Chains A and B, each alone.
Chain A
């Protein structure tokens, strides 16, 4: 099942022009595994763009119907994101469209996702360096 979703995810990325980040991000309590693909690749500063998130549970099954709160920023500079991105669409198969992202400086960024699904909530912190 996991391989099947992976194949669908990669196909979606190819079709939409998005490029997958090759890393899985495990939530703090280990309940969810998140990966993302940016529609803007490589990610450039000062450009509004969207990501496609893929959510799985610890067993590798796609997570459907998740509610995802989004925040983030640059901890070393003690400031947040310049926009308020949010998940705008659940695409099916554990995929979600995260829209309204923009990074306005080079350097280390964090995107924090608070994921609630199946009655459980857990936090995933995605790190990226631009």
Chain B
């Protein structure tokens, strides 16, 4: 082999090694540490109150909501409960591209852990409270497939539910009166919301690392994070631009962005928030509606809600604290793995409709691997008493009936 060819090969190999070698961490700056503290769970404030739901923080409402959440009788075929798609073992999602219940749901089943912090529910924000969201699947033909009359009748005809409902709301509905049924249906959503409000994200290895960083404890920093994870975090707050949307202690701004995610094969482009905002404004169970408990009528989110074509193809930023066990990702579960999500943002394709806000990152493959290594440090247990993460024990009356 000619000497010049040998030199080219050696130089090429060295260049490849330099290009593909994993980056090593740089020193953190004061500004970095301030930003990291803002992302830590330690910065998460108390759960925001929900003036539209007077039982939002009532323990009895949470107990009732817990029972309703796991009860498959609230469906057209008696086989679908909220927990069919929102499975506790999968962080209250289902591992499918789109929810499978009576039929196929329109979108991917999101985790509900920590969503009580969001002013908007659903990936298009078509509901403005947990309780109004909870009502929607009960009447969706592809989900529970029931209707409010059936739901309220079941409450009235079940001695345990009836007693608990009466104790909580100090009133029983008249099944022959539409207004009364609507009031009771809204109350059922409010009890479900009270249950969902107890499901909060727990402390992750990332939060431990930030605490060690703030304390200046280098030994613990090394214990909590590898060099690759540190570099991944530095990319996360730097060149990867993740914190433009995944910011704050829940790693979401809860706003709506078009990031050029392509629809499932054969599906028309999903218009997302531009339709969701119209729906939430018209929804009878919104904050301004007759079933809201917000008597002073503040409803600031609706008051100052943004509308317009800029929201075409935009979807709500999900919390990265729910990455673990919630694949596939995106609003229709179009992207199967976290690595593919990162590749999507690395190339930032043109949007099918609207305008992709993201710009191509053009990171190296090794950068993406380190970024993924960091994202996996966000895994954490749900911060809730374990009893909330399974179906409640049957009430005594039912156990008695079943033993007959």
Contact = CB atoms under 8 A, between A and B. Distances in A.
A97 interface: no
Given A83-B305, A106-B247, 9 more contacts: A46-B248, A48-B301, A80-B310, A82-B256, A83-B306, A85-B304, A86-B304, A104-B255, A105-B245
Nearest to B300: A48
Given A105-B247, A106-B243, A106-B247, A84 B305 contact: yes
A106 B307 CA distance: 22
Interface residues on A, range: 20 to 34
Given A45-B253, A82-B255, A100 B247 contact: no
B249 to A, nearest CB: 10
A107 B244 CA distance: 8
6 contacts: A45-B247, A46-B254, A79-B310, A85-B304, A86-B304, A106-B35
B303 interface: yes
A96 to B, nearest CB: 16
Contacts of B300: 48, 99-100
B107 interface: no
Interface in B252-272: 253-257
B344 interface: no
A84 B308 CA distance: 10
Given A78-B355, A81-B306, A104-B253, A45 B248 contact: yes
B284 interface: no
Interface string A48-81: 1000000000000000000000000000011111
Contacts of A105: 244-245, 247, 253
A99 B355 CA distance: 28
A80 B247 contact: no
B305 A46 contact: no
Contacts of B310: 79-80
A102 B300 CA distance: 11
Q: For chain B, what secondary structure do more than half of its interface residues adopt (helix, strand, loop), or is it mixed?
A: loop
A47 to B, nearest CB: 9
Report, as a range, how many residues of chain B touch the other chain.
20 to 34
Contacts of B303: 100
B355 A46 contact: no
B123 to A, nearest CB: 16
B174 interface: no
Contacts of A82: 253, 255-256, 306
Q: Which 4 A-B pairs have the closest CB atoms?
A: A100-B304, A104-B253, A104-B255, A83-B304
Nearest to A81: B306
A83 B303 CA distance: 9
Nearest to B258: A79
A83 B300 CA distance: 10
Contact of B253 (A46, A83, A99, A100): A46
Nearest to A85: B304
Contacts of B256: 82
Contacts of B304: 48, 83-86, 99-100, 102
Nearest to B45: A47
Given A48-B300, A105-B245, A78 B357 contact: yes
Interface in A14-69: 45-46, 48
Contacts of B244: 77, 105-107
Contacts of A85: 304
B33 to A, nearest CB: 15
Nearest to B301: A48
Contacts of B355: 78
A100 B243 CA distance: 23
A99 B304 CA distance: 8
A80 B253 contact: no
A49 to B, nearest CB: 10
B47 to A, nearest CB: 15
Nearest to A100: B304
Contacts of A100: 300, 303-304
Given A46-B247, A48-B300, A79 B253 contact: no
Nearest to A73: B310
A107 B241 CA distance: 11
Nearest to A49: B300
Given A48-B300, A105-B244, A79 B357 contact: yes
Interface in A97-130: 99-100, 102, 104-107
B234 to A, nearest CB: 16
A81 B244 CA distance: 14
Contacts of A106: 35, 243-244, 247
